[in-house]
Amino acid sequence: MHTYFNINYEFDREQVHRAIAAHISQKQASYICVADGVVMNTANRDVQYREAVNGGMFSVCDSSYVPLYLKWIYSTDYQQYCGCEIFRDIISSRKYRMAFLGTSQEILDALKENLKKINPEVESMMFYELPFCSVDKFDYPSIARMIEADEADIIWVALGAPKQELFMHRLKPHLKSGIMIAVGAAFKFMSGLEVKRAPKWMVDNHLEFVYRIFSEPKKQLKRCGWIIATLPGLLLKEYKRARRNKATVAPSHIS
């Protein structure tokens, strides 16, 4: 795990899945954030939100641009691991019992039908529409009891950022076991309803944000505006951090 832009990232996909398996086998409760540009931006403007993002196991990198920034600053070679990918990987592995929380019942029903084509065991799993309310109004003890009664190993949460990260942070103390993973729009993408993911050629060329802007202009333009306004400062801070770290570990030369 590495900390960049004040977020604890795990870029190694195999390590992500090993950590999930270890927590589940040990009956531990925790969560994983899927950090895109919106999460990174908000975490660096809101200390309480940053504490929520970093209060779980780690974040996987849902941004295709963060690996580019890190390559420029640190000469590293990291890869994006987006919410749709980790969602599909875990479902298709057929290793865990899962629960699906959030969004509307219509999307949940369509999602279930599509996921059954990947993993027929999904038929017997819980799909629960969370009430539409602020993050302060959820009945966390009741939700935790429902999850424990279901014996879900993985709890997928789709409430949109920043709400879903705050939700997991507040639910964690009430859970005895289970790994929550926030997947944002993955429910909508894989339900086949409403928003669809960008074509692969756009994803491969770091243009997914353009597709999202045209799909949801009002929502995405506001998010992009915040990112554009704050990104230069974030890059400068990370560059200075890299220089400080390099100076600290540089070997001393004794004549």
* Buried residues in 34-63 as b, exposed as e (16+ CB within 10 A): bbbbbbbbbbbeeeebbebbbbbbbbbbbb
* Residue 107 confidence class, pLDDT cut points 50, 70, 90: very high
* Residue 230 confidence class, pLDDT cut points 50, 70, 90: confident
Specify the pLDDT at position 253. Answer: 43
Identify the three-state secondary structure at position 25: helix
Q: Which residue in the block uniquely carries the two structure tokens 């993993």? A: 119
- The answer to the question of residue 128 being in a domain is yes
- The answer to the question of residue 250 being in a domain is no
Helix axes 163-171, 140-150, angle to 10 degrees: 80
Report the distance separating Cα 103 and Cα 198, nearest Å: 20
- The answer to the question of residue 254 being in a domain is no
What is the phi/psi pair of residue 250, to 5°? Answer: -65, 135
- The answer to the question of residue 210 being in a domain is yes
Specify the pLDDT at position 204. Answer: 65
| Tally of CB atoms within 10 A around 126 | 17
Pairing label, strands 58-61, 2-4: unpaired
The DSSP-derived string for 70-117 is HHHHH--------HHHHHHHHHHHT-S-EEEEES-HHHHHHHHHHHHH
Domain range for 131? 2-244
Geometric angle at alpha carbon 89, from 204 and 117, rounded to 5°:
105
- The answer to the question of residue 253 being in a domain is no
Q: Mean pLDDT over all residues of the chain?
A: 87
Number of domains in the chain: 1
Pairing label, strands 29-35, 58-61: parallel
Distance of CA 137 to the CA centre of its chain: 22
Task: State percent of the chain over pLDDT 90.
Answer: 64
Q: Which residue in the block uniquely carries the two structure tokens 């940053």? A: 50
Specify the pLDDT at position 233. Answer: 83
Distance of CA 175 to the CA centre of its chain: 19
Q: Read off the amino acid at residue 237.
A: K
- The answer to the question of residue 249 being in a domain is no
Report the distance separating Cα 109 and Cα 207, nearest Å: 30
- The answer to the question of residue 100 being in a domain is yes
- The answer to the question of residue 42 being in a domain is yes
Say whether pLDDT at 115 is over 90.
Answer: yes
Specify the pLDDT at position 205. Answer: 58
Is 0.95 topped by the overall pTM?
no
